[in-house]
Amino acid sequence: MSTTIATEPQAGKGKESRPVVSDRSAAENRLGLKLVAPAVILMLLVTAWPMIQALYLSLFRYRLTAPDDREFIGIDNYVTVLTDSLFWRDTWNTLLIMVVTVAVELVVGFAFAMVMHRIVFARGLMRTSILIPYGIITVVSAFAWQFAFSLNNGFVNSWFSWLPWITADTNWYGDHWPAMFAIMVSEIWKTTPFMALLLLAGLAQVSEDMLEAAKVDGATWWQRLTKVILPNMRAAIMVAVLFRALDAYRIFDNIFVMTRGAQDTESISFLTYRQVIEQMQLGLGSALSVLLFLSVLLLAWLIVKLFKVDLAQARGEG
């Protein structure tokens, strides 16, 4: 079987040749499709009906407290949501939490990944210690941090009272920005190990020969990092940012446990919960669910486009 990559000439002068996928690459792609097909079909069977049902219910004025009064109203629920300042405020909160937490996790997670990758002694113990927070259930982690930031018996005020803006009487849940800070700290602490784990997989793909060659050529540590390590980890960084951004955009547990949405700390997921579970507004809540789903798809598309990663080249086919 041929394993070479041929080129197909283009009509006209001055045009570059177009690469043709080799027989081996085509066979690998077909095998990959066959391997993921059962999982994709199963996921579609499990998720397609709830999505279709949510889309259908979003076209009705429908409350569980008055099921017989269901009325078809078309896109009025979407108009109501998109013209409500509460939705846009919660969207801002969600985006802020996502951007801040993912940015911090990317930096701290990369540092942890470097430590786990380079450490020689007690490697297993070190990796286990770093990954422990990710193994804790999110609700348990949120309760722990709610206690930590508590005004009456939390330890944050006493431990960090040496900072000028923290005193023994600092009420972290009494205002919007301190409450948002507490939520973001709990999210960063819980999910940074996941980011580190994904980046560690990317670090393992960086050739040691390339690093040694750069070192021999006189490259500094910073130059090796920016010119060799990070460019070769681009695909891994994209996957890590994509997974964590989509997860952070759907944040719910931390807000539910720590503030219950008080002090204007609601996210889009929490707003959807209020409409569906607390107020029994199935029509309006379904419209919010559909908008949340579409915004997640848009976010994923933007991240993939932003990184411009050629996954085929990252696999060594280019």
Domain for residue 168, yes or no?
yes
Q: Which residue has the tokens 């107020």?
A: 279
Q: Is the pLDDT of residue 200 over 60?
A: yes
pLDDT (tens digit per residue) in 46-89: 888 888 889 999 999 988 888 888 888 889 999 999 999 999 99
Q: Is the pLDDT of residue 14 over 60?
A: no
Residues recorded for the chain:
318
Domain for residue 19, yes or no?
no
Q: Is the pLDDT of residue 19 over 70?
A: no
Taking residues 23-29, report their average pLDDT: 82
For residues 146, 147, 153, 155, the Cα torsion angle rounded to the nearest 10 degrees is: -90
Domain for residue 48, yes or no?
no
pTM of the model: 0.82
Contacts of 230 (CB under 8 A, 6+ apart): 237
Domain for residue 8, yes or no?
no
Per the structure, the count of domains in the chain is 1
Report the C-alpha gap between 21 and 19 in whole angstroms: 6
Q: Is the pLDDT of residue 1 over 80?
A: no
Report the C-alpha gap between 134 and 89 in whole angstroms: 29
* Tokens encoding 193: 């190990």
Measured from the Cβ of residue 18, the count of other Cβ atoms closer than 10 Å reads 10
Domain for residue 216, yes or no?
no
Domain for residue 45, yes or no?
no
The pLDDT confidence band at residue 105, using thresholds 50, 70 and 90, is: very high
Domain for residue 121, yes or no?
yes
Q: Is 263 left (phi over 0), alpha (psi -120 to 50) or beta?
A: left
- Residue 155: what are its φ and ψ, rounded to 5°? -100, -10
Can you give the residue range of the structural domain that contains 269? 76-202+228-314
The pLDDT confidence band at residue 3, using thresholds 50, 70 and 90, is: very low
Domain for residue 131, yes or no?
yes
Measured from the Cβ of residue 66, the count of other Cβ atoms closer than 10 Å reads 10
What percent of the chain has pLDDT above 90? 48
Lowest mean pLDDT among 93-102, 248-257, 263-272, 309-318: 309-318
What is the CATH classification number for the domain harbouring 272? 1.10.3720.10
Measured from the Cβ of residue 296, the count of other Cβ atoms closer than 10 Å reads 16
Q: Which residue has the tokens 């993912």?
A: 102
Q: Is the pLDDT of residue 9 over 60?
A: no
